Amino acid sequence: MKSLLLNSLLAACFVASPYLISGSKAQAEDWGCQVILCLSNPGGPSQYAECRPPIQKLWRELAEGHGFPTCSGVGFQSSRPGYEPYYCDTGYKLMGDDSRGGRQVTCVSTAPQPVSESLCWNSNDTYHTSNNSVLLPRWQRVDGRRQCMGFPNARPNVRSQPHYIDISIDGAGKQRVWY
C-alpha cells in the first residue's frame, strides 16, 4: 500500500510539476519534493529513472557544502536533516558520555541480565561500577536464589547512511528516510 501511494505521488510530482509551477522559487521547491519522494522509495532513491537526475543533483549539492533541499505543501511536510551515526540492537539503548574528553557512546541493556558473579560485591544491593562492560551490577533474588544482575554494555553499530529526514504525508503517516 505504501509503495502504491509512493509511486502515485512520484508520478504526480513528475507529470504535473511542469504544468503547475512557474518561477525559480517554485522550481527549487519542486526539486526538494522530488528528492524527498525519491529518497522515501523503499526500493532505493535511484530505482526509477525519473529519480536519478534529482538524486545525482542532491549528492553534488551536498558534496559542495550546500544545504538539504526542502519541500512543503498541502498534505506534505519534511523535517530538517538530522544525523545519527550509531544505533543499538534490539533490547539496548544508546547512551552518551561527555566526560572523557570527547563524546563516547555505548549501547546499554534496557533490562537487567544475569552477569558474572565476580562483578557483584559480597553484600546485598551494593552497587559496583569498576567494570565498564556492565552498569550497576548487584545481587538480586531470582526464583528464590541470589543472582548477580546488571545492565551489560555493547558497542554501537555504525550506520551506513547516518543522515535522515522525517517526512509526513497526510493520510499516509510519517516515515524516517535514511540517506
* DSSP annotation of 17: H
- 64-72 long-range Cβ contacts below 8 angstroms, 24+ apart: 68/165, 69/28, 69/29, 69/31, 69/32, 69/35, 69/36, 70/29, 70/32, 71/29, 71/32, 71/33, 71/35, 71/36, 72/29
How high is the mean pLDDT of the chain?
76
Task: Kindly state the average pLDDT of the residues 30-58.
Answer: 86
* Candidate from 6-10, 35-39, 139-143, 163-167 with smallest mean pLDDT: 6-10
What nine digits make up the cell of 44?
532505493
Query: With 90 as the cut, is the pLDDT of residue 158 above it?
Result: yes
- For the chain, the distance separating the N- and C-terminal CA atoms, rounded to the nearest angstrom, is 22
Q: How far apart are CA 95 and CA 107, in angstroms?
A: 6
Q: Say what percent of the chain tops pLDDT 90.
A: 30
Query: With 70 as the cut, is the pLDDT of residue 13 above it?
Result: no
- pLDDT band at residue 100 using 50, 70 and 90 as cut-offs: low
Query: With 50 as the cut, is the pLDDT of residue 5 above it?
Result: no
pLDDT of residue 10: 45
Q: How far apart are CA 160 and CA 157, in angstroms?
A: 9
- pLDDT band at residue 70 using 50, 70 and 90 as cut-offs: confident
- pLDDT band at residue 101 using 50, 70 and 90 as cut-offs: low
